């Protein structure tokens, strides 16, 4: 199985702040760092770190060469990344004293993908291959439809969530990976159990992974409901946690792992990621995930569905 991630490529400007800036307020950031980022890039790195062979498709500007080199260094195939006249997409990220983040994204080159490019990319993929998508590039509807026409497995992380998501051909999706806010917007529900059941009821050919931060995660496919706790780790920066979980889960799922095993590894990998600053740079390799000891926080039966 080939895995194609048609996703965003961003330059992350990360500012450490005592608290998130408020309207009308100016604050000093004691430090600023620049990292590779974008949900697409982060998830490709996580997929590769988990042992998957990944092809990344997307666009960068002439200022984005180091993003390309970063992907290559991780063993990711970059032949489907093209250069736009627009500048590379970027994100301005505030990280507060608790490790929480607030992010502003500029799409840039990520929003200049053409239908011709999409057609050329999909010539190289076939039935049974996997497509991983986020909501940071344009023409998602065409990408989804093309993947379904070719018989590919579609994994969709509708983040950041906006009004266009509900107008997409979501019936093409085989696996949704959502957080509480995204899941609530898709399902119209607020309780965790109702969210995953609501999504599968609307899109019966899909399964759902719902990530709940410190509360763990939940999987539902219409017949099975599985829960997963977290691992205790110091929280430095949560920016790449969700992308790490998605990449690890999708990689293990593609390799035929049991769902519970995939959830467990994804949870542990994301716990390790939040204990380091940055997004892509914080994603651990599989050997680190397997060799690192962290205290597991188990969930009592039924705990997550009651949320």
Q: Which residues contribute to the annotated binding site for ATP?
A: 179, 211-216, 242-243
Q: Which residues belong to the annotated binding site for K(+)?
A: 237, 239, 273, 276, 278, 282
The question of whether 16 is a catalytic residue gets the answer no
Half-sphere exposure of 61 (CA within 13 A, CB side): 15
Q: Which tokens go with 48? A: 């590769």
Active-site choice (96, 129, 139, 243): 243
Q: Which residues belong to the annotated binding site?
A: 10-12, 38-42, 136, 179, 211-216, 237, 239, 242-243, 273, 276, 278, 282
Q: Which residues belong to the annotated binding site for substrate?
A: 10-12, 38-42, 136, 243
Contact in structure between 1 and 251 (CB atoms under 8 Å): no
Half-sphere exposure of 147 (CA within 13 A, CB side): 28
Helix/strand/coil (H, E, C) string of the chain?
CCEEEECCCEEEEEEECCCCCCCCCCCCCCEEEEEEECHHHHHHHHHHHCCCCEEEEEEECCCCHHHHHHHHHCCCEEEEEEECCCCCEEEEEEECCCCCEEEEEECHHHHCCCHHHHHHHHCCCCCCCEEEEECCCCCHHHHHHHHHHCCCEEEEECCCCCCCHHHCCHHHCCEEEEEHHHHHHHHCCCCHHHHHHHHHHHCCCCEEEEECHHHCEEEECCCCEEEECEECCCCCCCCCHHHHHHHHHHHHHHCCCCHHHHHHHHHHHHHHHCCCCCCHHHCCCHHHHHHCCCCEECCCCCCHHHC
By annotation, the residues acting in catalysis are 243
């Amino acid at each position: 199985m080939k895995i194609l991630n048609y996703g965003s490529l961003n330059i992350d400007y990360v500012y450490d702040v005592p608290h998130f800036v408020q309207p009308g307020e100016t604050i000093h950031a004691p430090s600023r760092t620049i990292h590779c980022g974008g949900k697409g890039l982060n998830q490709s790195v996580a997929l590769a770190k988990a042992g998957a062979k990944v092809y990344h498709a997307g666009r960068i500007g002439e200022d984005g060469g180091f993003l390309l080199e970063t992907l290559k260094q991780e063993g990711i195939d970059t032949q489907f990344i093209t250069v736009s006249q627009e500048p590379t997409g970027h994100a301005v990220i505030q990280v507060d004293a608790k490790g929480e983040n607030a992010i502003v994204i500029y799409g840039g080159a990520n929003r200049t993908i053409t239908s011709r490019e999409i057609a050329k990319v999909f010539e190289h993929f076939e039935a049974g291959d996997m497509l991983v998508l986020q909501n940071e590039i344009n023409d998602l509807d065409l990408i989804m439809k093309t993947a379904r026409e070719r018989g590919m497995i579609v994994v969709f992380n509708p983040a950041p969530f906006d009004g266009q998501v509900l107008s997409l051909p979501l019936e093409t999706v085989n696996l949704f990976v959502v957080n509480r806010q995204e899941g609530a917007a898709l399902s119209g529900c607020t309780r965790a159990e109702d969210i995953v059941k609501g999504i599968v009821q609307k899109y019966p050919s899909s399964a759902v992974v719902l990530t709940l931060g410190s509360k763990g995660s939940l999987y539902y496919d219409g017949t099975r409901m599985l829960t997963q706790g977290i691992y205790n780790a110091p929280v430095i920066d949560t920016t790449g946690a969700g992308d790490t979980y998605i990449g690890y889960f999708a990689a293990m799922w593609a390799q035929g792992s049991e769902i519970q095993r995939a959830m467990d590894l994804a949870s542990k990998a994301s716990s390790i990621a939040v204990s380091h600053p940055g997004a892509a740079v914080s994603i651990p390799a599989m050997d680190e995930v397997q060799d690192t000891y962290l205290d597991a926080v188990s969930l009592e039966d039924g705990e997550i569905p009651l949320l």
